[in-house]
Every structure is written in C-alpha cells, then in structure tokens.
Structure 1
Amino acid sequence: MTTNSDTNNHAKHYINGEWIDSGEKKETINPSTGEVIGTYVEGGKSEMQDAIKAAKDTFKNTDWKTNRELRYKVLTKLADVFEARQDELATMIATENGKLLGEAQFEASFVMPNIRFAASKIYTEFGRTAEWSAGKYSILIKEAVGVAGISTPWNSPAALLIRSLAAGCTTVLKMPGQTALSNTLIMEIIASVEELPKGVVNMIIGERDALETLVEHPDVPTISFTGSTSTGRALMKEGADELKLFGLELGGKTPHIIFPDTDIDACLPVVEKSLTVFTGQFCMTGSRILVHKDIADEVRDKLSKRLENVKVGNALDSNNDMGAMIDQSNVERVDKMVQDAINKGAKVLVRGGPINEGEQSKGAFYQPTLLEVDDSQADIVQQEVFGPVLALQVFETEREAIEMANATEYGLSACVWTQDLDRSFRVAREVEAGTIWFNDWAVMRDEFEEGGYKQSGVGRLRGQSTLEDFIEVKHIVLQSGVVGK
C-alpha cells in the first residue's frame, strides 16, 4: 500500500506514484474549534506541470486507455477499499470541513455507488457501425480524450473524482487546501489499489496558480470543475485558446415552491434540512422558499420557530443539527450579505448570524437566517450566498411562482410541493432547472443525470452522459466493396 509517510497530519501531493513534499507549508484548521489540526504543502505551477507530465506519459506509454479489463478491476476494487474506510474518511471530512459527521457519512456514501456505476460504463460504453451501402461501412469508436484535469471543491471533496478513470483518461486532481488532510486520505485510499498503474491518478493540493496551470496547459484537453459560476466563467476564458472541453457544476439558488395543498408539517423539516445540510455550503442548498399567499402566515410562523431552534455546534457531536462553515472569512462574508439585504429592505424573520460569545465563538459558526423579500431582483435572491440563509417570497398564481423560480441566472435544481400531480408536472415543465423534486429535496441517483440550466453549469454528471466530458468520437470509413458475381 502506498501511504502518506512520516505523519498522518501533514498532507502532500501525489505525483507518479510518489508523495511529494514541495511548496509553501500551510496549516489546516478545524472550523468547529479554530484549532490547527495539521499542515500541508500548497503546490503551484511547478508541481502541477510535473503532475501533468506524469499523467501524459502514462496515457501515452501504457495500455490504461484501451484495457477495459484493467480499468474495471481497478474501479471495482477502488469501491471496495472506499467502503472499508468510509467511516475513517467521514470523520476526517467532518473534522476538517465542519459539516456534521452524519452529513460527512452521507457524502462518503455517494462514493461507492458512483464508482460502481462508472465501472459498469466501462463495458457498456461503445460505438456503433453501419453498412450504409453495399460494401461500404462506417465505424464509430469512442476514445479517451487524454489527460483529464479535475478540480474538486472543499465542500464535497470525496464525491466527484472517478468518471475520468472509467473513460480511460489519466487524471490530475487539483484539490483545495481547506480539506488538505481529507484530500490526502482520499488519495491514499486510491493509491492502495495495487493494480492502479503509477501516473494514472495524480493529486496536487493548490489554489489559483495550480488551477490556472491545469486549465491553460496544452496537454490537458478536458477540465471538470465544481465551484462558483464566476470562477467557471473565468476558467472557460482561460481555456478558450486551447478549445478545451469543459464540464462545469456551478452555483445554484434552489427554490422550494410551496402550494396551498402541501402537507406543511411534512414539508418544513425538509426545507430546514435543505438549508442546514453542509451549513448551506452546497450547490443545491434550498436557499429560496416561494410560498402561496393562503399559507404564507402558517409557513412564516412554523419555519421561523424551526430555524430558531436549530442547534449549531461541533461537527462530531451527534446532538447538533448544523455544523460549522468552512472558515471565519466565509462567516464574515455571509453576514455582510445578510446585513446588506436588511439595509436594502429585507424583512427579518429570523436574524441568525455569527456566534460571538462563549466557546463556540472560536469556531466558524453561523446560525440560520430567514429573510422575507418582495423583489426578485434583490441581491439576496439573485446571488448565491453559500451559507444558511433563506429568502422567502409570496406568490398568488402558478404563473407568478414559475416567474419567481426562474428569475435568477441559476438553474441547478428546484422543489415543487403539492398534492396535485397535474400541477406538479405543469410547474416542473416550465421551471428552468436541471433537477426537479416533487415533495422532496436532494434525491440523486448515479443512473440519472445531474447538472444545471443557464449559469449553473455545462454538461452533466452521472447517468448515461457521465463519460461525455472525457470522450472523443472517431468516425472510420471502410469501403471494402462486395464479392463479384
């Protein structure tokens, strides 16, 4: 087994089968306590170039891209080793990321089915052929595009790594410093599969310099990025000179659209969780609630009481309802957005905000906030907050609800709450979002696609489209003729 040697609390890069301890040394913080829990090295251009070279050499000089049996064996074993170390990984993520342990276990639980579905695609993703005239054939084959660059987010470091391997690409992971110890544990788990050739998976812990190098490098034809819409736009510009393929999972402003026939007592616990899971630091966070006027008073009252009673605290304490944000700077950023919304006329239903007294003041805690607004163009409606802040609006008709739901530049997901099946379909067909749930939230399956409309992304994760970001299609024409009479 290849392990991160020396110590368990110092994170390194992984290049061509070796742990590399180069770059600026930094500290990683437990956001629940504010304590230093380890160190890591932040890589830049040099480390990224080395990783890209290793991935390119492996792609060119081994049979990884064509050996389906090997890829299937590696991925199935990879799923097994992740399963065996799932609890260890979840505990590390909760400690370093601040999300509740149960939520970290939820994230880690996505890894195994994701890998196993990707493994199934190895044997089922193929081209086609046709004889389009006597003795004249077209053959369509699908080939791995080459080195894949994958940038994973700090809010879900474990869930988005594997698709490129199934396609036959070699991979360079750019992983964030905020989850450096989690990154290294993930890489250690991957590297423990002995059949995995050196250079197939390389990992750099880094930030902007590393990411820019990955995106601009001519030997990396495809980029998979999960993060903010603004960063996604910037990366597409940077990759334009090389005509890169991009798969982008970007921001969201998920609305809950609640009609008057909704079972409110069943709905509001889900709305609450959609706000507090990952402390609102999730692209599908339920950050908007659109309520029919006939039930607005009831929803305001009951939801306010629920949010006021959310117990915020240490990620490893099972008695808590919500963990910490990733760091203090994000606490300050979110609170500034909330105060700006209030100053511009938002009505405070639950103020929430930072915890500034007692032991919890050492952590990056932010209590849930509920604001009511009348204007869909308000910044608190239009901008992704990425924190536990919920904006409430009131509507009267289906048409008005749809217009409110579609009023932002985002279109990642939406929730429709009603007991009327016809209404649910009427509304869903006009809401501009890649995923829509009826009377639920955040139900995802690897067999079905996930991705955004509008400025919420490009391409799709999961489902039958899962490998498209990493595949080139080649058309071969053969005109052999026919046997003469």
Structure 2
Amino acid sequence: MERLNSTEAARTWINGSWNDGGTKRQAVSPSTGQPLGYYLDIGPDEAQLAIEAARTAFDTTRWPKDRSVRSRALFELADEVAKRVDKMATMLSREGGKLLAQTHWELSLTVEWLRYAAATALLQTGGRALEASPGMHFISDPEPLGVVGVISPWNSPIILSVRAVAPALAAGCTVVLKMPGQTALTNALFAEAVAAVESLPPGVLNVITETGSIGASMLVDSPQVDMISYTGSTKVGRVIAANGAKTLKRLNLELGGKAPLVVFDDADLDAVVPQIVMALVAMNGQFCCTGSRVLAQRGIADRLRAALIEAYQKVRLGESEDPQAQLGPLIDKASVRRVDAVVAEAASYADILVRGGPVDEGPLAAGAFYRPSLIEVQDLSAYVIQAEVFGPVQTFEVFEDEADAIERANATEFGLAASVFSSDTARCRRVGKAIRAGHIWMNCWGVMSEHFEQSGFKQSGIGVLCGPRAIEQFQEIKVYAAVEEPLTAS
C-alpha cells in the first residue's frame, strides 16, 4: 500500500475491519514540510467502537482462555511486521524525522519483541500449587486482566506500542491501541500487518489514530477498560493516574527521563565521546533515555568539554533518508521554537558552550531542524538540568568524587536511565547501584534486550515492560482452595 501523495486516507482498524470514520487530515514530513498523504483522525464514536469491540472480544471469544491461539497469533503478527520492515521503516523515517538506519533498527527489534511475547504466551507464569497444611490445598492461577488501553508516543510509535501490546496479548487481554497522529501513515502500515493475521479474532487488537486526546481520555475514563499502559511525559502520566483512579484502573506508565552520563577521570575518552554524542543525537534527541546530562569528573573535564564542543560543531544535519546525516529534524516547527526558547533562557544563567539553533537558511530551512546545543551549568536547580527538553540539548556539569557524582545524578525527579563510564568495572557497578534509575549502562549507552525488563524509578514510571515480568503486568491472580475434609465449627 503506497500512501505517499495519495488522496486515499489511511484508516483505522476496529473490530476486525477497516473503519472510515473520523476527520481527514494531512500527514506532513518534518524534514521538508511537504505533505506525505492523508489519514483519518478518530473521534469519540470510533474510540467507543474500539472499546466495545475489545470488551466483547474479551468476554465472548476463546482468546483469554487459549494460550496456543495467542502464541500463534503473535508469531503471525511478527511475520507480518517482518514482511513490512523496509516499508514501515521508510515511512516512519519520513513521518517522524528519525534517520532511516534508526527506524530500520527499531522495526527489526519490534519483530524480535513480538516473537519473544509469542513464546511467553505458552509459559505458565505466576501460578503455583501448595499443600499449605495437611489436607488443605491451594492453587494460584494467573488470568488475563481484561481490556487494555495502550497509548503510544510519536517518537517510537511502533516499538513502544508493541512493547505493551505484545505482553498484553500474550497474557490474554484484548487491546485498544491509540497511536499518534504525527505518524498516522506508519500506524496504518502496522494496522495492515494486524489485519493480515488470520488467527487474531475480531476486536482483540484495535488500532486507532488520534491527533488530540479525546479518544485517549475515553480509554482512561471508561469502566469497560481495565488497564492503561501509557508511554509519554510525566505531566500527562500524572493526569492519567489521577483520572484512572476514578475507576481503579491498573496502570503501567513509562514517563519522562533526564539520563545522566557520568564520566570518571579514568575513562577512555576516545571510546566515551562517540557514545555521548550518540546519546544526544540518536532519535534527534527526542527519546526518553536521551543522554541529556554529561557529568564529568574534574580531572577529565577540560579534555571532555573540548572534545564535545568540537564534535557538536561538526554534527551533520540532514533529511531522514540522507545516509550521511547524523541528526534529523524535530517532529515539527513548534518543537523547534520550544527547544530554542529553553536554550535562549539558559544563556541568562549558564555558559553556552555550543549554541545550536534552528536552521533558517539553505535546503533544510523548510524542515524542523535544530542544531545541537551544549550548556555548562553547575546549579542543580537550573531549569535546563531539571526539565526534559526533548531535543538535542545537553548540559555539562563537573563533579569532584563518587559521592558528588551520585548526588548530581540523583538530583532530578526522573529515574529512567543512566550511564557510568570508568575503566574500573567495580566502580561502574558501585555508582550504578547508587543511582536511582531503572536502566544503568556501564561504559555504553542505549543497549537493550527483549529478555530484560525496562522500568522507571521515581517520577519516570510505574511497572515494567519487556522481559519475563512484562506479562505479569497484564494478569490477575486467582486463588483456589480445597480441603480433603470439610471444616467444622468444632
């Protein structure tokens, strides 16, 4: 299905069929500002149809009861996504602005995560049997929680959707997946893969696209929805938590991040600098684990500062499909203005080492491009240290010793990820253990596996995704008890 420059609008997938409801809108490339195609932006009617379809599928089909059906469907979905990796990666690169190599990696990893969930569906998790005392037997049995609303972000819409959708389906839940309007044409390609899975009953997985938040709010408020899995900002996560409490929703939230990159003076700078640069420019700085803070020990600070200044001044910007580009555009011009305002304000209280900014001239001027900025600041209360900027803006801070590094690393409300660079592995482990974050990278950045959990500490989230514990997030535990002889009052 080729959607580029077509008048045909990408549709949503509800209850096992394509839905023509919603408002027709235009998808635009952040690299060029040019239209890519059209999509249907759902409204409350379509959201309600999707909720009811998921509820009916959970209550009336074999899906919650038959793990072999679930595993087969997930393996089939993995195969269908695999067939479309190149097309989906290209479209995601054009719509979202990420470099093509990054979107291709993301889609390939999505296939592996689906296959992992398919295997997990066949495993017994969380259940046990015990004769607690003579003649008194107990069995605990995990059951699917029910209908799950998954609300995914625009920065990595497929893999971050699948990260929640796959274990939810493996557990036996049904899903309404609310995807962002910024990547609507990519969403439609994923929905095509879903539509091609013959073993997936109608209503089990519904894929809707929304630019605003009416449908998302309906998922959070609906008594027919048992759980919300949301990836996005901490601010919105708090709203979801408050509103979801009205119906006692179970929540799985992966929220904001402000990842510190702690560099000790025994680190190998030749190896560290490329890692730090990648931690900032990957996904154009629009990633919850973006390495937005560099913490340098004083003995190495001058050399590291100089190396980063040189590196960021040389970063090559380019359209998302430019193989020579290191940094693509932000998602839109509004984001460029927002990020630039943060850097401009920082000039009043910090030392701007590299003043990035919008690209206003030349062939890239029509796109939402922003050159990277590096800002030196010691005041831990500074906005640029405390806020998730969501763009290629990095702070540079100097610390004295391990205790100072740990205090600085823990100084924000976030706790999603961190990196520690040192030739002393024991130090990496020791400092990593003291940093309150769910993912600690030692002498690296951004390394992830479907075999291990992803979680956030502090204000970075609730619950886990990926790994063997992910399926448990979408299950209830029911306990059965039996006695060999009936209990009596005596």
For residues 379-458 of structure 1, what are the structure 2 equivalents within 5 Å? Answer: 379-458=383-462
For residues 48-197 of structure 1, what are the structure 2 equivalents within 5 Å? Answer: 48-126=47-125, 127-159=127-159, 160-161=161-162, 162-197=166-201
What one-letter code is carried by the residue in structure 1 that aligns with 2:396? L
- Are 1:205 and 2:205 matched, yes or no? no
Task: Determine which of 295, 316, 330 is the counterpart of 2:321.
Answer: 316
- TM superposition shift of 1:9: 5.5
Contact 1:222–1:469 (8 Å) recurs in 2: no
- TM superposition shift of 1:7: 6.1
For residues 253-402 of structure 1, what are the structure 2 equivalents within 5 Å? Answer: 253-343=258-348, 345-402=349-406
- TM superposition shift of 1:39: 1.4
Secondary structure in 2 aligned to 1:230? helix
- TM superposition shift of 1:371: 0.4
What one-letter code is carried by the residue in structure 1 that aligns with 2:114? I
What one-letter code is carried by the residue in structure 1 that aligns with 2:122? Y
- TM superposition shift of 1:44: 2.4
Distance 1:33 1:475, change over 3 A: same
Distance 1:115 1:249, change over 3 A: same
Determine the C-alpha separation between the residues in 2 that align with 1:8 and 1:90: 22
Contact 1:171–1:201 (8 Å) recurs in 2: yes
- TM superposition shift of 1:135: 2.3
Contact 2:6–2:37 (8 Å) recurs in 1: no
Contact 2:418–2:439 (8 Å) recurs in 1: yes
- TM superposition shift of 1:3: 11
Determine the C-alpha separation between the residues in 1 that align with 2:198 and 2:401: 59
Determine the C-alpha separation between the residues in 2 that align with 1:137 and 1:8: 64
- TM superposition shift of 1:18: 1.4
Distance 1:477 1:84, change over 3 A: same
Determine the C-alpha separation between the residues in 2 that align with 1:273 and 1:428: 20
- TM superposition shift of 1:112: 1.3
Secondary structure in 2 aligned to 1:110? helix
Determine the C-alpha separation between the residues in 1 that align with 2:406 and 2:72: 47
What stretches of structure 1 of length at least 5 have no aligned partner? none
Using structure 1 for the length normalisation, give the TM-score. 0.97
Determine the C-alpha separation between the residues in 2 that align with 1:7 and 1:372: 47
Render the CA deviation track for 1:104-134: whole Å, top value 9, x for unaligned.
0121122111111111211223311111122
- Deviating beyond 6 angstroms after TM superposition, the runs of 4 or more aligned structure 1 residues are none
Determine the C-alpha separation between the residues in 2 that align with 1:8 and 1:156: 26
Distance 1:78 1:385, change over 3 A: same
Secondary structure in 2 aligned to 1:112? helix
Secondary structure in 1 aligned to 2:65? coil
Contact 2:9–2:24 (8 Å) recurs in 1: no
Contact 1:134–1:481 (8 Å) recurs in 2: no
Render the CA deviation track for 1:378-411: whole Å, top value 9, x for unaligned.
0000000000000000001110000000000000
Determine the C-alpha separation between the residues in 2 that align with 1:109 and 1:242: 37
Contact 2:70–2:169 (8 Å) recurs in 1: yes
Determine the C-alpha separation between the residues in 2 that align with 1:106 and 1:274: 16
Render the CA deviation track for 1:35-81: whole Å, top value 9, x for unaligned.
01111121122211110001111111110011111111111121122
Distance 1:296 1:76, change over 3 A: same
- TM superposition shift of 1:375: 0.4
Secondary structure in 2 aligned to 1:359? coil
Match of 1:232 in 2: 237
Contact 2:7–2:38 (8 Å) recurs in 1: no
What one-letter code is carried by the residue in structure 1 that aligns with 2:85? Q
Render the CA deviation track for 1:124-166: whole Å, top value 9, x for unaligned.
2331111112221111001111111001110011113222111
Secondary structure in 2 aligned to 1:48? helix
- TM superposition shift of 1:17: 1.2
Determine the C-alpha separation between the residues in 2 that align with 1:8 and 1:154: 23
Using structure 2 for the length normalisation, give the TM-score. 0.96
Task: Determine which of 246, 249, 252 is the counterpart of 1:247.
Answer: 252
Contact 2:6–2:38 (8 Å) recurs in 1: no
Secondary structure in 2 aligned to 1:291? strand
Contact 1:224–1:469 (8 Å) recurs in 2: no
Render the CA deviation track for 1:425-478: whole Å, top value 9, x for unaligned.
221111010010110001111111111100000001111211122111111111
What stretches of structure 2 of length at least 5 have no aligned partner? none
> Between Structure 1 and Structure 2, how many residues are aligned?
479
Contact 1:413–1:436 (8 Å) recurs in 2: yes
Contact 1:96–1:178 (8 Å) recurs in 2: yes
Contact 1:410–1:453 (8 Å) recurs in 2: yes
Contact 1:9–1:181 (8 Å) recurs in 2: no
